[in-house]
């Protein structure tokens, strides 16, 4: 067991990549607290975890709202006594060109994808510092490195997540807290399903050197490594788990 009895918060654990991360952490002995705005989705992840004999807790939290995040973090500490791992995974993808974008779409994209990372980190840092132990993992995106039409605001948020990861790693290293990011490529989840039609999916697949979309387990395996003590000398990094996409000039 690679994270036996470690207590992990996973935001957006009710679906897709977050769900995959919850399952993998639980399989390796972790106790998982799921923060999701969709309580039923979080519950179904928790039921699966409990069926396999591990512990899980679900809290309905909008991770873009400070008061909800702070209250939920307190609840996890009172339920399990500590927090060892925070995975900031919750995100939204709202498509719009910059020229036609409303301020609401801009604000929601930045709030859920970037501000939430700040809020969740701020809430757990005092506790992690007190225990001189912590692993924070932020889910960015290949679009934190590159751009794409109708996703400039999403790219801005995901690039921000990488910058926040680097800065936090320098602040928290002296407290024995590691902060890293993963930049997923194209991962087969409900978000991808909502964002793309079948034509675009085929074209996108052809541009991935490994010629397949990722699955949540691909991200979960990398996440498990980065939040485990095997990665204790890695901090401030973003690992792109993207089938080679970030290495390609688009002619793959
Ligand atoms: N799927 C991809 O191809 C891909 C690629 C790169 C990065 N990502 C990133 O990975 C993360 C997970 O994406 P996914 O594809 O699994 O998406 P998904 O839509 O399948 O799941 C997102 C989860 O986040 C929850 N959520 C949304 N807003 C929330 C809020 N305000 N508060 C709490 N929970 C909230 C949803 O209820 C859902 O359970 C996101 O940050 C996304 O930007 C996804």
Q: How, if at all, do strands 134-139 and 85-88 pair?
A: parallel
Residues 221-248 have pLDDT tens digits of 999 999 999 999 999 999 999 999 999 9
* pLDDT value, residue 197: 87
In this prediction, residues 68-89 reach a mean pLDDT of: 98
Residues 153-162 have pLDDT tens digits of 999 999 999 9
Residues 21-37 have pLDDT tens digits of 999 999 999 999 999 99
The arrangement of strands across the sheet holding 7-11 comes to: 56-60, 31-36, 7-11, 85-88, 134-139, 177-184, 238-241
In this prediction, residues 167-184 reach a mean pLDDT of: 98
Any atom of ligand 1 within 6 Å of the Cβ of 72: no
CA of 82 to the centre of ligand 1 (A): 25
pLDDT category of residue 15 using cuts at 50, 70 and 90: very high
- Sorted by sequence, the CB contacts under 8 Å of residue 131 that are 6+ apart come out as 82, 84
Alpha carbon separation from 80 to 9, 30, 175 (Å, rounded): 11, 12, 22
* pLDDT value, residue 175: 98
Q: Which residue's CA is the closest to the ligand 1 atom numbered 24? A: 12
- Residue 154 annotated to the active site: yes
Any atom of ligand 1 within 6 Å of the Cβ of 91: yes
Residues 90-133 have pLDDT tens digits of 999 999 999 999 999 999 999 999 999 999 999 999 999 999 99
* pLDDT value, residue 249: 83
What structural domains and CATH numbers belong to the chain?
7-241 (3.40.50.720)
Contact 137, 6 (CB under 8 A): no
CA of 160 to the centre of ligand 1 (A): 16
Any atom of ligand 1 within 6 Å of the Cβ of 155: no
In this prediction, residues 129-158 reach a mean pLDDT of: 98
Residues 45-59 have pLDDT tens digits of 999 999 999 999 999
* pLDDT value, residue 250: 80
DSSP string, 164-226: HHHHHHHHHGGGTEEEEEEEE-SB-SHHHHHH--HHHHHHHHHTSTTSS-B-HHHHHHHHHHH
Bridge partners, 7 (sequence order): 31
Q: Which residue has the tokens 């799921």?
A: 34
Distance CA 186, CA 165 (A): 21
Tallying the residues shown for the chain, one arrives at: 252
* pLDDT value, residue 88: 99
Of 35, 27, 108, nearest to 69 (Cα)? 35
CA atoms within 13 A on the CB side of 20: 20
Distance CA 244, CA 155 (A): 19
* pLDDT value, residue 9: 99
Any atom of ligand 1 within 6 Å of the Cβ of 18: yes
CA of 191 to the centre of ligand 1 (A): 7
Closest ligand 1 atom, residue 184 Cα: 6
């Amino acid at each position: 067991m690679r994270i036996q009895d470690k207590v992990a918060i996973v935001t957006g654990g009710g679906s897709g990549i977050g769900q995959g991360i919850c399952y993998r952490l639980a399989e390796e002995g972790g106790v998982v607290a799921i923060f999701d705005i969709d309580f039923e989705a979080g519950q179904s992840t928790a039921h699966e975890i409990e069926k396999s004999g591990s512990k899980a807790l679900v809290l309905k939290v909008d991770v873009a709202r400070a008061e909800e995040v702070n209250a939920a973090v307190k609840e996890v500490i009172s339920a399990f006594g500590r927090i060892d791992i925070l995975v900031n995974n919750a995100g939204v993808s709202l498509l719009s060109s910059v020229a036609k974008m409303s301020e609401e779409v801009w604000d929601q994209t930045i709030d859920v994808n970037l501000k939430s990372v700040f809020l969740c980190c701020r809430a757990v840092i005092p506790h992690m510092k007190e225990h001189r132990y912590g692993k924070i993992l932020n889910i960015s995106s290949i679009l934190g490195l590159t751009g794409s039409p109708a996703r400039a605001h999403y790219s801005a948020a995901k690039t921000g997540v990488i910058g926040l990861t680097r800065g936090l790693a320098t602040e928290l290293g002296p407290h024995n807290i590691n902060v890293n990011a993963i930049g997923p490529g194209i991962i087969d989840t409900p978000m991808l399903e909502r964002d793309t039609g079948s034509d675009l999916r085929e074209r996108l697949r052809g541009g991935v050197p490994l010629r397949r979309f990722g699955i949540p387990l691909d991200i979960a395996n990398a996440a498990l490594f980065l939040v485990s003590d095997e990665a204790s000398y890695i901090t401030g990094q973003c690992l792109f788990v993207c089938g080679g996409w970030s290495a390609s000039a688009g002619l793959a």
